Amino acid sequence: MEGNASKPGAEGGHGAVWETLKTMDYLFVKFKQAAEETQFEEPSHFKSGIDCGWAKLEDYYIKTDRTPIYRAALALHPSYGYDYFERHWKNAMDRPQWYSDMQSAVGSLFDEYVRQAEVETQAQAGLLEDEADEIEADVNDYSSFGKRHGQFTPKISTLQTLLNGGTDINWNQTSQ
């Protein structure tokens, strides 16, 4: 939102996910005000610019609807929360459907994380041993992918010797 913040001499003070919708909402209000102020004027480049800007902003709102992260980031922000959406989307911007959609999307995201946490808790408690074994096998398969095997893998006892202060390590030993 601020441009190239990695450019020498420029420091980025904006661009966090939670700022995206807030900035778009600000632009929405400004475009709406400009459209109302110029509604009775003759067609002009300025009026066309307002219409084009508003249309582009609508495109970006559609893009932010593809993931709940933008709404969740603002809803979870300690200075804004759900109140922001009620104040701006439901009331000031007169978009109650956006507000309802936000509640649903953020609620679904929260429910998804709750389900994941429950599964992880059950797996850790051993309640899903068979499934946990399958998951662990997949994780071990992934973790071992691309690692060195054979002569470059030290034995566990060799590592224990090193950790216990020993210095006579033969790195050419193979693991068993």
Task: List the chain residues with pLDDT less than 50.
Answer: 1-2, 150-156, 159, 169, 171, 174-176
Check: CB of residue 153 under 8 Å from CB of residue 174.
Answer: yes
Model pLDDT, residue 156? 46
Amino acid letter for position 140: N
Q: What is the pLDDT of residues 33-44, one digit of tens each?
A: 999 999 999 999
Model pLDDT, residue 126? 64
pTM above 0.75, yes or no: no
* Average pLDDT taken over every residue of the chain: 77
Q: What's the rounded Cα separation, in Å, for the pair 29 and 124?
A: 49
Secondary structure element (H or E) that encloses residue 160, with its range? helix 156-163
Q: What is the pLDDT of residues 144-158, one digit of tens each?
A: 555 555 444 444 455
